[in-house]
């Protein structure tokens, strides 16, 4: 086999570093690759399977070449075997009997399309009879090859390794040991028992408990958070509020929601546990288990831990939803540009955000702020500073 010295060898690039040592007399074909023999300055066409690059593992190259030659010998043996079978005479070999002909004709005429078209089944019967005679010749040839034991001309004919006569399954090849994806052997009874022991979904009572708990999480926590009514942080305001009023309203809403979680949500989940698992009795889900060690190793403890995780995840999702809505609410309220000209003249410009939120200009400001004006007498230093600032402004304007 040939050996190459880089990726450029397979592409046929003119590089002095490329070196191909090829086997003489290799015929060019459509699968050959043009490579350069730099020491001779000429090109040679070699089969791609016989090109080994320096970056390639030599063991992989040797395995590839060996496999290619093995497949070639196997294909040649199969072609030789099939050619011998095709050249065997069919005279004197029994064809299809009357019962077999009747079965073939009944199968052909069972099709409505064939009956309506009126096609002649003579050619099909002739082909089926010839195939049967060829099969009989193949069986006879296989028997003589095995009896010859490598003597005479029959020793030149070899039955292919994957031939049905060798596989022992009649005219069909042997079934594979596995399907499309090889699966290691395993004890399905033991696997099922292991899964059933660690799964909570083997008892109807547990499934009902999990379903009711998920329903409580949705109804009490997730749905109010998505509707914006959990903390009332994002409720549309019809009037501006003072800061104290705003804090009082939202404090009451947060306290009310916490009361619902503590006095309604958690007791409802505990009630579902007693209702669904109260009648289980002794076993893995015994609510009346008094032994601490037995409880720690029971499936009831794992189930209650799962319920705690579900409730914690629901509360976390609700808080994230409410906080995200709160950020959008405050950003929407503070989207305008405020210009204060005096205590009685304040202008808010929403021109930059009206394109994405056309209803923002109709909403009132978020907070009301009281501004008190008190007249005081300026000190001499403050008067001097104001005069200097006015003079500097006038000078800059004149300049």
SS (H, E, C) 30-78: CCEEEEEECCCCEEEEEEHHHCCCCCCCHHHHHHHHHHHHHHHHHHHHH
The number of domains in the chain is 3
- pTM, rounded to two decimals: 0.47
327/205 same-domain check: yes
Categorise residue 152: left if φ over 0, alpha if ψ from -120 to 50, beta otherwise. Answer: left
In a domain, 325, yes or no: yes
pLDDT recorded at residue 206 = 93
148/221 same-domain check: no
In a domain, 19, yes or no: no
272/373 same-domain check: no
Last residue of a domain, one of 156, 174, 192: 174
Q: SS3 of 162, please? A: coil
Q: Are strands 42-47 and 337-342 parallel, antiparallel or unpaired?
A: unpaired
Task: Output phi, psi for 140, to 5 deg.
Answer: -65, -40
In a domain, 39, yes or no: no
325/213 same-domain check: yes
In a domain, 251, yes or no: yes
324/250 same-domain check: yes
Q: Give, as one character, the DSSP assignment of residue 224.
A: H
Consecutive 10-residue averages of pLDDT for the chain (399 residues): 40 42 44 55 75 85 89 86 88 83 80 72 82 88 78 74 47 66 82 88 92 92 75 65 85 86 92 90 84 88 94 92 84 80 77 65 76 78 85 79
d(CA 21, CA 94): 58
d(CA 2, CA 369): 90
Exposure string for 261-291, b = 16+ CB within 10 A, e = fewer: eeeebeebbeebbeebbeebeeebbbeeeee
pLDDT recorded at residue 180 = 74
pLDDT recorded at residue 314 = 93
Up-side HSE of residue 124: CA atoms within 13 Å toward CB? 14
225/309 same-domain check: yes
Q: SS3 of 379, please? A: coil
Alpha-carbon distances of 165 from 52, 89, 140, 142, 272, rounded to whole Å: 39, 20, 11, 7, 67
pLDDT recorded at residue 357 = 65
Bridge partners of residue 3, in order along the sequence: 21
pLDDT recorded at residue 40 = 61
How many CB atoms sit inside 10 A of residue 46's CB? 22
Q: Are 85 and 136 in contact (CB under 8 A)?
A: no
321/347 same-domain check: no
In a domain, 125, yes or no: yes
Give 300-322 as a DSSP string.
HHHHHHHHHHHHHHHHHHHHHHH
Q: Which two tokens stand for residue 92?
A: 């004197």
Cα angle, residue 49 at apex, residues 44 and 51 outer, rounded to 5°: 50
In a domain, 291, yes or no: yes
In a domain, 29, yes or no: no
Q: Is 9 exposed, middle or buried (0-12, 13-18, 19+ CB in 10 A)?
A: buried
305/347 same-domain check: no
In a domain, 101, yes or no: yes
| Structural domain of 350 | 341-378
pLDDT recorded at residue 1 = 40
114/227 same-domain check: no
Alpha-carbon distances of 78 from 31, 67, 159, 162, rounded to whole Å: 23, 16, 7, 9
Cα angle, residue 321 at apex, residues 319 and 325 outer, rounded to 5°: 115
């Amino acid at each position: 086999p040939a050996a190459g010295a880089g990726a450029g060898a397979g592409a046929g690039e003119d590089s002095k570093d490329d070196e191909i040592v090829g086997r003489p007399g290799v015929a060019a074909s459509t699968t050959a690759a043009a490579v350069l023999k730099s020491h001779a300055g000429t090109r040679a066409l070699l089969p791609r399977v016989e090109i080994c690059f320096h970056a390639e593992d030599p063991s992989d190259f040797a395995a590839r070449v060996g496999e290619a030659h093995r497949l070639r010998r196997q294909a040649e043996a199969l072609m030789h075997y099939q050619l011998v079978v095709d050249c065997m005479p069919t005279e004197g070999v029994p064809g299809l009997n009357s019962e077999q002909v009747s079965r073939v004709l009944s199968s052909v005429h069972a099709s409505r399309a064939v009956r309506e078209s009126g096609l002649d089944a003579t050619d099909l019967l002739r082909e089926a009879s010839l195939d049967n005679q060829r099969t009989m010749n193949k069986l006879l040839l296989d028997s003589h090859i095995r009896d010859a034991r490598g003597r005479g001309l029959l020793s030149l004919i070899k039955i292919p390794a994957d031939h049905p006569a060798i596989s022992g399954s009649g005219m069909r090849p042997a079934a594979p040991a596995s399907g499309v994806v090889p699966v290691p052997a395993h004890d399905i009874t033991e696997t099922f028992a292991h899964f059933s022991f660690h799964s909570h979904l083997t008892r109807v009572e547990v499934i009902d408990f999990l379903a009711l708990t998920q329903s409580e999480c949705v109804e009490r926590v997730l749905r109010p958070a998505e509707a914006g009514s959990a903390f009332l942080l994002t409720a549309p305001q019809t009037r501006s509020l003072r800061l104290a009023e705003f804090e009082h309203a939202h404090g009451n809403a947060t306290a009310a929601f916490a009361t619902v979680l503590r006095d309604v949500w958690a007791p409802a989940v505990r009630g579902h546990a007693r209702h669904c698992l109260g009648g289980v009795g002794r076993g893995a889900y015994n609510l009346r288990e008094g032994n601490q060690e037995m409880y720690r190793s029971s499936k009831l403890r794992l189930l209650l831990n799962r319920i705690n995780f579900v409730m914690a995840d629901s509360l976390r999702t609700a808080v994230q939803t409410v906080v995200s809505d709160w950020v959008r609410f405050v950003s929407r309220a503070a989207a305008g540009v405020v210009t204060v000209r005096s205590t009685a003249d304040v202008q808010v410009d929403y021109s930059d955000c009206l394109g994405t939120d056309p209803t923002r200009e109709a909403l009132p400001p978020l907070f009301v702020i009281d501004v008190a004006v008190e007249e005081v007498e300026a000190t001499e230093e403050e008067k001097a500073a104001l005069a200097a600032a006015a003079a500097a402004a006038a000078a800059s304007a004149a300049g």
